[in-house]
Amino acid sequence: MKTQQQVLKFSAARKSFGDVVALAGFDLEIAKGELVTLLGPSGCGKTTALRIAAGFEQPDSGTVELHGLDITNQPAHKRNMGMVFQNYSLFPHMNVTENVGFGLKVRGKEPAEREMLAIAAIDRVRLNGLGNRYPHQLSGGQQQRVALARALVFEPQVLLLDEPLSALDAKVRAELRDEIRLLQSEVGVATIFVTHDQDEALSISDRICIMKDGHVQQIGTPRDVYLHPANAFVARFVGAMNEIEINVSASSIASIGELQLDLQVSNISGPTAKMLLRPDAVSICQPGTQGSLNATVVGQHFSGATTMVRLRLDHNDTVVSALLVSRAVTVVEGEVIGVLLNTFEAIIERGND
């Protein structure tokens, strides 16, 4: 994790719209060259946080600092931040070169220098030779590349990406996602990336900030939030999750039926609790194997290298998913097999978590 120079800092930023609290005390620091993703369901406050950074919204209280200077009340056009929007935002009456050169023009750069820099930026997003095209002559992916070039050409201190990929189709999205990451780390600009797509967040980010109802749930590396979710919301929101009911005895021993689980549940008051477990922590074995539960195969979902097998536990009829390497899957529907639960990274949900 990078601990370099801090570029952007939110301190206790709050914002409500009428009765709706969009952001309830938001704290976040972003270092130079770092890409932080704001991830959460719609209405979680991620876009509000981004718009506060951009200067399009004023927080009701709290501050935003850029390189240690308070910019909370600075107008948007003086902040020197590049932004790429969800909607195609290119100026329809300007061609690609003019669009990319716009930020340089308003900064008073001479036409010759402007064009040179714009063309270099267009080349960087691999649109060589398309400088004379107009936005309506470009595909969605190309338009977002131009928007990216336009946002980076004046060397902003912060890059703000507001769901830039959500209007694109799956293939283009994955391609552009990787390119954004590559370009961002080449340029070394502090970046906020807003998305509701967890795959996107996991694959692109240095750190992910997971939000819900205006509150930050967890800030951590993609590995952190996936493997060590701070709470049940994060666990459910990032990646798939099985939910299995367990019994907790008075002496703090967790079990499913006869099977005793290797789990720390001393802080849970029984008699039952919910265990959250990733599909890749579930595996299959011969029925009757030591430490396994019996289950029936109810379906499987093949997706190339891996297969998701759906299993109904005989004990309580709960259906769980097991993510397995396809080669290892030889089961058929209706077959009775054993299920092994790797509870090492399981999350136990308390009553009111």
# binding residues, another protein (CB under 8 A): 34
Longest CA–CA separation in the chain, Å:
78
Q: Which is nearer to another protein, 149 or 225 (CB)?
A: 149
Residue 17 binds to another protein (criterion: CB under 8 A): no
Question: Closest distance between another protein and the C-beta of residue 117, in Å?
Answer: 14
- The set of residues, in sequence order, having a beta carbon less than 8 Å from that of 151 and lying 6+ positions away, is 82, 83, 84, 103, 159, 160
Question: Closest distance between another protein and the C-beta of residue 307, in Å?
Answer: 38
Closest to 38 (Cα-Cα) out of 231, 198, 240? 198
Strands (E), 130-174: 158-162
Per-residue binder mask for another protein (CB under 8 A), 186-225, x = binder: ----------------------------------------
Residues 221-280 that bind another protein (CB under 8 A): none
Residues 132-171 that bind another protein (CB under 8 A): 134-136, 140, 147, 150-151, 154, 160
Give dist(CA 234, CA 88) in Å, integer. 31
Burial 99-117 (b: 16+ CB within 10 A, else e): bbbbbbeeeebeeeebbeb
Residue 26 binds to another protein (criterion: CB under 8 A): no
Q: Which is nearer to another protein, 55 or 229 (CB)?
A: 55
Give dist(CA 193, CA 159) in Å, integer. 8
Q: Which is nearer to another protein, 122 or 293 (CB)?
A: 122
- List the one residue from 47, 48, 89, 95 that touches another protein (CB under 8 A): 89
Residue pointed to by tokens 């509150």: 215
Residue 92 binds to another protein (criterion: CB under 8 A): yes
- List the one residue from 27, 70, 91, 288 that touches another protein (CB under 8 A): 91
Asked if 8 and 53 touch (Cβ cutoff 8 Å), the reply is: yes
- List the one residue from 6, 21, 24, 56 that touches another protein (CB under 8 A): 56
Residues 94-133 that bind another protein (CB under 8 A): 102-103, 105-107
Give the CA distances from residue 320 to residues 198, 239, 281, 317, 348, in Å, rounded to whole numbers and listed in that order: 21, 14, 11, 9, 16
Residue 278: phi, psi to the nearest 5? -65, 145
Give dist(CA 76, CA 61) in Å, integer. 18
Residues 65-84 that bind another protein (CB under 8 A): 75-83
- The set of residues, in sequence order, having a beta carbon less than 8 Å from that of 250 and lying 6+ positions away, is 270
Q: Which is nearer to another protein, 56 or 255 (CB)?
A: 56
- List the one residue from 85, 197, 289, 335 that touches another protein (CB under 8 A): 85
Quote the tokens at residue 299: 């379906």
Q: Which is nearer to another protein, 156 or 229 (CB)?
A: 156
Q: Which is nearer to another protein, 150 or 212 (CB)?
A: 150
Asked if 158 and 190 touch (Cβ cutoff 8 Å), the reply is: yes
Question: Closest distance between another protein and the C-beta of residue 48, in Å?
Answer: 14
Q: Which is nearer to another protein, 94 or 253 (CB)?
A: 94
Task: Give the interface with another protein as residue ranges (CB under 8 A).
Answer: 54-56, 75-83, 85, 87-93, 102-103, 105-107, 134-136, 140, 147, 150-151, 154, 160
